[in-house]
Amino acid sequence: MAGRAEHMPRLREEYALAAIRQWFIERPEQLDATSPHLQEFARRVLASSREPEPKELTLVALRSRFHNLRSRVLEANPDDPWWQQQRRLDQSDVEGLVGARILLQGASVPCRACGTNRWYPVDDLRTQMRCNGCLSTFPLPVAPDWSFRLNELVQSGLKWHGLLPTVHLLYVLLQRNSDGYPTRSFVTIPSQNLFEGDSDSPYTELDILALQDGEFLIGEVKSRPEAFRPEGFAKLLEVAKALLPGRLVIAAEGEAWPPEVEGQIDALKQSLADRDVIVTKMLLRWRR
């Protein structure tokens, strides 16, 4: 079995499936080739897996979004420790995100000749601007409104590649080893697609491949515990048999494992016991 870094979006199918499931929950009536709802159905499935348009938000708008998100989370879970302590989005938080190039700073500037309003990153702003549309030059407005746009690579990682739970699990592994002690050494490589023999289509993907304090560790992580499926566990079993890691970590953002997923993890544990592969399950929660 060989690995290659992931390039293909792997969550599009999951988003489309979720939209289809949601459709049938909302409208359990039959959907067939002559149904008048077919066009709306197609539109929803397409929209669920479309690349989002980049959006710019001013500092005020970012703070308002943060406030709304905080209210929503605390309404659903009043004891959430991270959101209880993080009361507002400080300027230093935004500066940190801009410094790490997760947010890009820039401004929307209208062209005086054709009127096209376009967003430019701060490094592309100059006293004489050149319109990308009509190619005429015009002076930069004296006081443009700064706004912030999510780095498109980060956006695509978040939307399509499950970046956040993967980073979260890496962070947790970086803090503590399997014995509960602070991790002394940690080396990891990016998520990999795994291929059987010379096959061009991936057999499966692996989120985590790491060496933690000398132990070879592989892991699968999802944004919700419910997202684990039996066919995924069957593939993980084959991967673990081929790679023989010291530890296989199954992790998800959330508060509880559904009983059927827990049963599948136990079965995986038993199937790998005689190969000295320890299977660990882990629920991830953000803490400050």
- Verify binding: residue 113, Zn ion, rule CB under 5 A: yes
Q: How far apart are CA 63 and CA 91, in angstroms?
A: 9
Min separation Cβ 106 and Zn ion, Å:
17
Site string for Zn ion, 60-99 (x = CB under 5 A): ----------------------------------------
Query: What's the CA angle centered on 103, arms 97 and 108, to 5 degrees?
Result: 140
Q: Shortest CA distance to 260 belongs to which of 230, 217, 215?
A: 230
Min separation Cβ 112 and Zn ion, Å:
8
If the CB atoms of residues 35 and 137 are measured against Zn ion, the closer one turns out to be 137
Structural tokens at position 110 = 């209208």
- Verify binding: residue 114, Zn ion, rule CB under 5 A: yes
Terminal-residue alpha carbon distance, the chain: 39
Q: With CB under 5 A as the contact rule, which of the stretches 50-58, 127-135, 256-264, 267-275 interacts with Zn ion? A: 127-135
Q: With CB under 5 A as the contact rule, which of the stretches 16-24, 100-108, 129-137, 280-288 interacts with Zn ion? A: 129-137
Run of H or E including 250: strand 247-253
Three-state DSSP at 192 gives strand
- Helical axes 259-272 vs 230-243, angle rounded to 10°: 20
- Verify binding: residue 131, Zn ion, rule CB under 5 A: yes
If the CB atoms of residues 133 and 263 are measured against Zn ion, the closer one turns out to be 133
| Contact criterion met (CB below 8 Å) for 169 and 251 | yes
If the CB atoms of residues 134 and 244 are measured against Zn ion, the closer one turns out to be 134
- Verify binding: residue 134, Zn ion, rule CB under 5 A: yes
- Verify binding: residue 111, Zn ion, rule CB under 5 A: yes
